[in-house]
């Protein structure tokens, strides 16, 4: 009877553990999907914009001619789906769960006797590490695809029972062929494949210690030989191969976290084999506690708030989500150059800049029209400002230079799309066709490119377009390379060319105030009021009141409402008191900006 009871309970225990694992996997899938679809969707867009995946045979053959090129091709193919964050979140969730599943299968091969829940808990260690790794925006998803290729091949090799069902010669030959194949497919992560196989062979009781050592030595030497052989035909330094071509946005920089992920992927199956030999009941609770502790401590560092806030702003600028930018700036003070310039642009596009500019931190005219920086995000944000203003040549320059500043020399889907638009607005149709044909070879931009190819072939098609036509009308003929210290003159030209250019008008009024040049403000305000006599925004009212009080003159009641005059007098009393507590409520005002050095 006891024996029958034991055999009867086994399937029940097996079934219950199976359902627990399914429920846990589904819960993790939901959490990961929501993570990428909501709070970190901008990170998906960020990665998609730094590539231009082409569906041409030439693009494939170019990548396939380098080690790890197939992993890059697959990674970029999947990354293009990040253009739609709902689909992109599903893609990345699928990749991460596949990684979790393969880790579980590998652990099962190394330690088949330990419980399923222990295997699953162990597999969460590399899974959590790679989740944290992708908080670094410089790591591409080509690394994940390369790692998946390496561990999937390792699992297939181990499952074929090559360690005890074949002769030593067959085992060496098979390892040599598969290593060469994996290195071509995945590149640097082949080291993970090699050490997993070496570790699995080393635990086999059917192979002598001498053969194990010889197999390990031969495997590592052959891997090094593959690296050396490829080095002769590649236009890359050897260091690029050792780091991993295409794994990082910065191809000459190696992040320690990448090595940690690879190390954990290799060591966890070894640890499972060790646990299998010495079963301990405290393993699962201890591992869960350590994993939760790692999540609490390391996730905030992996997903740094400052970095990802910049990425959020960049995403909203790209999507022209002006209300979203203002909402974010109301929640968090925009104090970085990109966030300040994006906030000012959003205020201008919603026609609030001439009333609410000093509700937010301002860092001078650089927060209005930032100078060129050899960095994609800031260049593209400035390019977007120029594009919306109607300074099309300048927008083209900043988008192009931003794309050329991409560290791994990729082309950018975002930049190419905007460059096609600037060429269309300028009437340079041959250049526009060049960019549009590139986009025609993509999945997500193909229809857009075809529509615009038809547009430029249609007589007066661009002129009648609601966006491109209006930009062409407001574009000044003198939009050439200019002195960054004289941008206000260009803003004046934009406004005089088109009095309906409200963005240029707001920028023109704010520019001298950010310079603390009240005389110049009076001149520019006079130019505007000549064409729009009823124009009297809040900043103009405050500036006129400040000038009047500064010159000891009465505040003109026909321009300045009593509420504005009262706010100025309240500030004056606080300022003269030199009491920081009284001044603090006025820090976000034009008056404070004009008198302080902040």
At 529-574, the pLDDT tens digits run 999 989 999 999 999 999 999 999 999 999 999 999 999 999 999 9
- Render 397-435 in DSSP notation, one character per residue: HHHHHHHHT-TT----HHHHHHHHHHHHHHT-HHHHHHH
Helix residue spans in 39-167 (DSSP H): 41-48, 57-64, 69-79, 85-110, 116-133, 141-159
pLDDT one-digit tens code per residue, 46-73:
999 999 999 999 999 999 999 999 999 9
Asked if residue 357 and residue 469 are part of one domain, the reply reads yes
Cβ neighbour number for residue 119 with a 10 Å cutoff? 24
Instruction: Give mean pLDDT, residues 232-238.
Output: 86
Asked if residue 493 and residue 347 are part of one domain, the reply reads yes
pLDDT one-digit tens code per residue, 417-438:
999 999 999 999 999 999 999 9
Q: Are 548 and 556 in contact (CB under 8 A)?
A: yes
Whether the pLDDT of residue 13 is over 60: the answer is no
Asked if residue 461 and residue 541 are part of one domain, the reply reads no
Q: How would residue 8 be classed by pLDDT, with cut points 50, 70 and 90?
A: very low
More confident residue, 6 or 589: 589
pLDDT of residue 236: 84
Instruction: Give mean pLDDT, residues 83-89.
Output: 96
Asked if residue 242 and residue 120 are part of one domain, the reply reads yes
Instruction: Give mean pLDDT, residues 123-143.
Output: 96
Cα separation of 528 and 525, whole Å? 5
* DSSP, res 248: B
Q: How would residue 9 be classed by pLDDT, with cut points 50, 70 and 90?
A: very low
Please say which residue of 530, 551, 568 terminates a domain.
530
Asked if residue 290 and residue 250 are part of one domain, the reply reads yes
Whether the pLDDT of residue 280 is over 70: the answer is no
pLDDT one-digit tens code per residue, 316-359:
999 999 999 999 999 999 999 999 999 999 999 999 999 999 99
Please say which residue of 476, 511, 530 terminates a domain.
530
Cα separation of 308 and 325, whole Å? 14
Q: How would residue 14 be classed by pLDDT, with cut points 50, 70 and 90?
A: low
**Full domain range(s) for residue 125:** 56-303
Residue 46 lies inside a defined structural domain of this protein: no
Residue 327 lies inside a defined structural domain of this protein: yes
Q: How would residue 10 be classed by pLDDT, with cut points 50, 70 and 90?
A: very low
pLDDT of residue 480: 53
Q: How would residue 405 be classed by pLDDT, with cut points 50, 70 and 90?
A: very high
Residue 493 lies inside a defined structural domain of this protein: yes
> 223-237, 272-286, 297-311 — which is least confidently predicted?
272-286
pLDDT of residue 2: 42
Asked if residue 201 and residue 270 are part of one domain, the reply reads yes
User: In the predicted model, what is the mean pLDDT of the chain?
Assistant: 92
Residue 47 lies inside a defined structural domain of this protein: no
Q: How would residue 18 be classed by pLDDT, with cut points 50, 70 and 90?
A: confident
Asked if residue 566 and residue 454 are part of one domain, the reply reads no
Asked if residue 361 and residue 451 are part of one domain, the reply reads yes
Residue 558 lies inside a defined structural domain of this protein: yes
Cα separation of 433 and 423, whole Å? 9
pLDDT of residue 506: 98
Whether the pLDDT of residue 128 is over 70: the answer is yes
More confident residue, 10 or 43: 43
- Provide the whole-model pTM: 0.92
pLDDT one-digit tens code per residue, 150-206:
999 999 999 986 445 567 788 889 999 999 999 999 999 999 999 999 999 998 888
Residues in the chain: 598
pLDDT of residue 485: 66
Asked if residue 341 and residue 295 are part of one domain, the reply reads no
Asked if residue 465 and residue 409 are part of one domain, the reply reads yes
Asked if residue 242 and residue 177 are part of one domain, the reply reads yes
Phi, psi of 478 (to 5 degrees): -90, 20
Asked if residue 498 and residue 449 are part of one domain, the reply reads yes
Whether the pLDDT of residue 502 is over 90: the answer is yes
Q: Per the structure, how many domains does the chain have?
A: 3
Q: Are 99 and 76 in contact (CB under 8 A)?
A: no
Residue 396 lies inside a defined structural domain of this protein: yes
Cα separation of 108 and 119, whole Å? 7
Cα separation of 435 and 450, whole Å? 11
Please say which residue of 279, 303, 327 terminates a domain.
303
Q: Are 146 and 186 in contact (CB under 8 A)?
A: yes
Percent over 70 (pLDDT), the chain: 94
Cα separation of 432 and 319, whole Å? 21
Cβ neighbour number for residue 568 with a 10 Å cutoff? 22
- Using alpha carbons only, give the angle 97, 101, 105 rounded to the nearest 5 degrees: 170
Cα separation of 290 and 301, whole Å? 17
Sign of dihedral through CA atoms 153, 408, 426, 429?
negative
Instruction: Give mean pLDDT, residues 23-37.
Output: 96
Q: Are 88 and 48 in contact (CB under 8 A)?
A: yes
Percent over 90 (pLDDT), the chain: 83
Longest dimension (CA), the chain: 107
Q: How would residue 283 be classed by pLDDT, with cut points 50, 70 and 90?
A: confident
pLDDT of residue 3: 43
pLDDT of residue 337: 92
pLDDT of residue 234: 86
Cα separation of 124 and 115, whole Å? 15
């Amino acid at each position: 009877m006891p024996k029958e009871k034991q055999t009867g309970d086994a399937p029940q225990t097996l079934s219950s553990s199976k359902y627990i694992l399914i429920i846990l996997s589904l819960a993790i899938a939901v959490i990961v999907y929501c993570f990428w679809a909501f709070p970190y969707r901008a990170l998906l867009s960020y990665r998609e914009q730094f590539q231009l995946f082409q569906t041409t045979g030439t693009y494939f053959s170019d990548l396939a001619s380098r080690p790890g090129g197939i992993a890059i091709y697959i990674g970029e193919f999947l990354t293009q789906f990040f253009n739609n964050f709902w689909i992109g979140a599903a893609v990345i969730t699928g990749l991460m769960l596949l990684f979790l599943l393969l880790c579980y299968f590998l652990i099962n091969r190394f330690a088949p006797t330990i419980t399923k829940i222990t295997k699953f808990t162990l597999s969460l260690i590399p899974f959590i590490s790679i989740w944290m790794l992708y908080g670094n925006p410089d790591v591409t998803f080509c690394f994940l695809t390369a790692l998946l290729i390496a561990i999937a091949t390792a699992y297939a090799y181990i499952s074929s029972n090559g360690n005890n069902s074949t002769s030593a010669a067959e085992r060496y030959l098979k390892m040599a062929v598969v290593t060469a194949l994996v290195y071509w497919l995945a590149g640097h992560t082949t080291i993970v494949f090699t050490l997993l196989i070496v570790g699995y062979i080393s635990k086999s009781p059917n192979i002598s210690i001498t053969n194990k050592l010889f197999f390990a030595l031969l495997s590592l030497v052959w891997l090094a030989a593959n690296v050396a052989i490829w080095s002769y035909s590649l236009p890359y330094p050897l260091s690029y191969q050792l780091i991993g071509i295409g794994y990082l946005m910065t191809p000459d920089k190696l992040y320690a976290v990448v090595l940690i992920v690879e190390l954990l992927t290799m060591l966890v199956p070894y640890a499972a084999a060790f646990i299998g030999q010495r079963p301990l009941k405290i393993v699962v609770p201890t591992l869960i506690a350590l994993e939760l502790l790692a999540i609490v401590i390391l996730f905030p560092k992996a997903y740094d708030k400052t970095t990802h806030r910049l990425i959020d702003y960049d995403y909203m600028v790209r999507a022209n989500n002006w209300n979203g930018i203002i909402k974010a700036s109301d929640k968090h003070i925009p104090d970085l150059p990109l966030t300040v310039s994006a906030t000012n642009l959003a205020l201008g596009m919603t026609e609030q800049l001439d009333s609410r500019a000093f509700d937010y931190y301002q860092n001078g005219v650089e927060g209005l029209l930032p100078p060129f920086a050899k960095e994609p995000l800031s260049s593209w944000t400035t390019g977007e400002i120029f594009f919306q203003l109607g300074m099309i040549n300048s927008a083209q320059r900043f988008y192009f230079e931003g794309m050329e500043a991409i560290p791994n020399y990729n082309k950018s889907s975002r930049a190419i799309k905007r460059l096609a638009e600037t060429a269309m607005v300028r009437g340079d149709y041959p250049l526009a066709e060049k960019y549009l044909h590139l986009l025609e070879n993509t999945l997500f931009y193909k229809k857009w490119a075809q529509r615009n190819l038809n547009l430029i072939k249609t007589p007066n098609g661009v002129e009648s377009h609601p966006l491109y036509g209006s930009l062409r009308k407001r574009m000044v003929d003198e939009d050439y390379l200019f002195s960054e210290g004289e941008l206000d003159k260009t803003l004046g030209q934009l406004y005089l060319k088109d009095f309906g250019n409200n963005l240029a008008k707001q920028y023109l009024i704010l520019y001298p105030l950010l310079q603390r040049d009240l005389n110049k403000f009076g001149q520019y305000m006079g130019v505007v009021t000549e064409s729009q006599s009823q124009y009297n925004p809040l900043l103009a009212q405050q500036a006129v009141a400040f000038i009047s009080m500064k010159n000891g003159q009465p505040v003109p009641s026909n321009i300045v409402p009593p509420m504005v005059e009262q706010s100025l007098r309240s500030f004056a009393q606080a300022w003269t008191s030199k009491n920081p507590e009284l001044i603090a409520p006025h820090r976000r005002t034009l008056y404070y900006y004009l008198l302080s050095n902040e």
